[in-house]
Amino acid sequence: MREHQDGTAPGAGAPQSLRSDLPTGSSRWAVRRAQWRSLGITDEEMSRPKIAIVNSSSDLAACFSHLDDIVPVLKDAVRAAGGLPFEIRTAAPADFITSAGAGGRYVLPTRDLIVNDIEVVVEGALLDGMICLSSCDKTAPAHLMAAGRLDVPTVLVACGYQRSALYEDGGADIEDVFLHAGHTALGRTSAEDLLRMSEGAIRGPGVCAGLGTANTMHMAVEALGMALPGSTPVRANSPAMWDAVRAAGHRAVELVKEGRSPRSVLTPAAVRNAVTVMLAIGGSINSVKHLQAVAVEAGLDVDVWRLYEELADRVPVLTAVRPNGPHLIEQLDDAGGTRGVMAALAPLLDLDTVGITGRRLGDLLDAAPPADCAYIRPLDDPFSRRPSILVVRGSLAAEGAIIKLPVDEERPTRFRGPARCYPSREAAVDALAAGQVQRGDVVVLRGMGLHGGPGMAMASAFVFALDGAGLGADVAVVTDGQLSGLVNKGIVVGEVSPEAASGGPLGRVHDGDMISIDLAVRTVDLEVDPDELAAREPIPAETVRTPGWLAQYDATVGLPACGAVLGGRGACAARRASISGDRR
- Element holding 416 (H helix, E strand): strand 414-422
Cis geometry, peptide bond prior to residue 369 (ω within 30 degrees of 0): no
Question: Would you tell me how many other CB atoms lie within 10 Å of the CB of residue 183?
Answer: 19
Rounded to 10°, the helix 139-150/213-224 angle is 30
Which residues, in sequence order, are CB contacts of 370 under 8 Å at separation 6+? 336
> What angle is formed at CA 540 by the lines to CA 535 and CA 542, rounded to 5 degrees?
160
Eight-state DSSP code of residue 103? G
Cβ atoms of 252 and 8 closer than 8 Å:
no
Tell me whether residue 484 is one of the annotated catalytic residues.
yes
Is the distance from CB of 451 to CB of 501 less than 8 angstroms?
Answer: yes
Q: How far is CA 432 from CA 10, 178, 403, 427, in A?
A: 61, 18, 22, 9
d(CA 152, CA 106): 28
84-89 β-sheet, strand order: 84-89, 50-55, 129-134, 154-158
Considering only CA atoms, which of 283, 305, 281, 280 is closest in space to residue 292?
Answer: 305
DSSP summary character for residue 202: B
Of 57, 384, 484, 497, catalytic: 484
Measured in whole angstroms, the distance separating CA 396 from the mean position of its chain's CA atoms is: 25
Residue 205, burial from CB neighbour count under 10 angstroms (0-12, 13-18, 19+): buried
Active-site amino acid positions: 484
